[in-house]
């Protein structure tokens, strides 16, 4: 490769005016060991680009998103089942009272009975009191 051409290409290269093919020529020129001394400063640049391209990713790409979506779908199902059970349980268990509530209900009934009995007796007692008013009337007739 004649030196003049390389120099010309190099100038164009730094102006951003070289084609990929021309850049390949430059890379190849600098890849060899004998480079003109006044161009030696550019060698690491082109060597660097060549070397940089050899670097590879060491990690495997994981696209196991399919399993992930399936699992996510199951989450949805599981959540709605739990919710359904919860709602159903709430609705069906409402009439059934707990032990404490049943006892409270019985106690309430007893108390009401007792209250009723008391008020009945009280009313009976009040009826008996009407005799007192008769007594008052009679007394008024006499003591007028």
Applying CB under 8 A, among 55, 94, 100, 127 the residue interacting with other proteins is 55
- Whose Cβ is closer to other proteins: residue 66's or residue 141's? 66
Sign, CA dihedral 34-35-40-45, equals: negative
CB of 83 to other proteins, least distance (A): 28
Question: From CA 118, how far away is CA 112, in angstroms rounded?
Answer: 10
What own/partner pairs with CB < 8 Å and gap ≥ 24 does 115-120 have? none
| CA nearest neighbour of 40 among 75, 88, 80, 6 | 6
Closest CA to 30 of 9, 18, 45: 45
Residue 45 engages other proteins in binding (rule: CB under 8 A): yes
Nearest distance from residue 31's CB to other proteins, in Å? 12
Closest separation between CB of residue 26 and other proteins, Å? 10
> 63 to 122, contacts with other proteins by CB under 8 A?
63, 65-66
Applying CB under 8 A, which residues contact other proteins?
Answer: 13-17, 20, 23-24, 40-45, 47-49, 51-59, 61-63, 65-66
């Amino acid at each position: 490769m004649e030196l003049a051409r390389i120099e010309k290409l190099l100038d164009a290269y730094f102006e951003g005016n070289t084609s990929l093919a021309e850049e390949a020529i430059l890379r190849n020129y600098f890849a060899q060991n004998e480079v003109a001394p006044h161009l030696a400063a550019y060698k690491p640049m082109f060597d660097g680009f060549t070397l940089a391209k050899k670097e590879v990713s060491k990690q495997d790409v994981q696209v196991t998103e399919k399993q992930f979506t399936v699992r996510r779908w199951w989450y949805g199902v599981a959540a709605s089942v739990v919710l359904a059970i919860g709602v159903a349980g709430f609705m069906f268990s409402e009439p059934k009272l707990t032990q404490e509530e049943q006892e409270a209900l019985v106690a309430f009934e007893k108390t009401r009975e007792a209250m009723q009995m008391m008020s009945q007796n009280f009313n009976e007692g009040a009826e008996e009191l009407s005799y007192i008013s008769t007594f008052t009337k009679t007394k008024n007739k006499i003591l007028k």
